[in-house]
Amino acid sequence: MFTHLHDMHQFLGAMDLFRNRMNTIFNDFDRTASPAYNWVGTEVHPPTNLSDSGDNLEIVAEVPGVKKEDLEVKIQGNYLQITGTRKNAPPEGYKTHRTERTRGSFSRSFTLPYDVDASKAEATLTHGLLRLVLPKAETAKPKQITIQ
C-alpha cells in the first residue's frame, strides 16, 4: 500500500510540474504577443544549479534584483518550487527608454532526485544568489547492511 501511495505522490508531483511548465509557455506567449512587450531574449526563469554533496542537495538560483520578501520556496517530499517577483519599475518622474531586465512573476519547480527533510532546509540570499541546502530524508540515504 505504501508503495502505491508513494507512486501516486510522484505522479501528482509530475503532473504539477507539467502544469507549471504549460502555464509558463502560455504566459511567455501572452507576453511576447503583447505590442507593449520589447523582445530582448533574456530568460524569465532564474538559471539554477543542483548538486549533491552526499548528505545534502544544494541548489543555487540566480535571482538578481529580487528581495527576499519577494521570494517563496516550497518543499514537499521531492518536489521543490521557487516563486518570486522581479520589480523593475523606473523611479518616479523618470521615463524608460530601454528595458532589458525582465520584470514580473516567475515560478520554477523541480522534481528532486530524492526526498528531502524540509524541516532542516536552509535558504540564504546573498548578492542575487538564492542558495538552498536541503538535507536528504533518512529514507533517501543509503544504508549499510551487515552480512551475517
CA neighbor of 55 nearest in space, from 129, 120, 125: 120
Q: What is the pLDDT of residues 125-147, one digit of tens each?
A: 999 999 999 998 877 777 788 89
User: 67-72 long-range CB contacts below 8 Å, 24 or more apart?
Assistant: 68/125, 71/125, 71/130
- Residue 60 has a pLDDT of 96
Q: Which grid coordinates are listed for 66?
A: 529580487
Which domains does the chain possess? Answer: 2-89+102-140 (2.60.40.790)
- The 10s digit of each residue's pLDDT in 82-136 is 999 888 777 788 888 777 777 788 888 989 988 899 999 999 999 999 999 999 8
Mean pLDDT of the chain: 81
What pTM value is reported for the model? 0.64
pLDDT of residue 31: 53
Which pLDDT does position 44 carry in this prediction?
Answer: 66
Query: Grid coordinates representing 4?
Result: 502505491
pLDDT at 131: 97
Reported as type and span, the H/E element at residue 75 is strand 71-76
Location of C-alpha cell 538559471: 47
- Least confident range of 1-5, 20-24, 59-63, 144-148: 1-5
Segment 10-50, tens digit of pLDDT? 787 788 888 888 877 777 665 555 545 444 444 567 899 99
Residues in the chain: 148
Residue 74 has pLDDT above 90, yes or no: yes
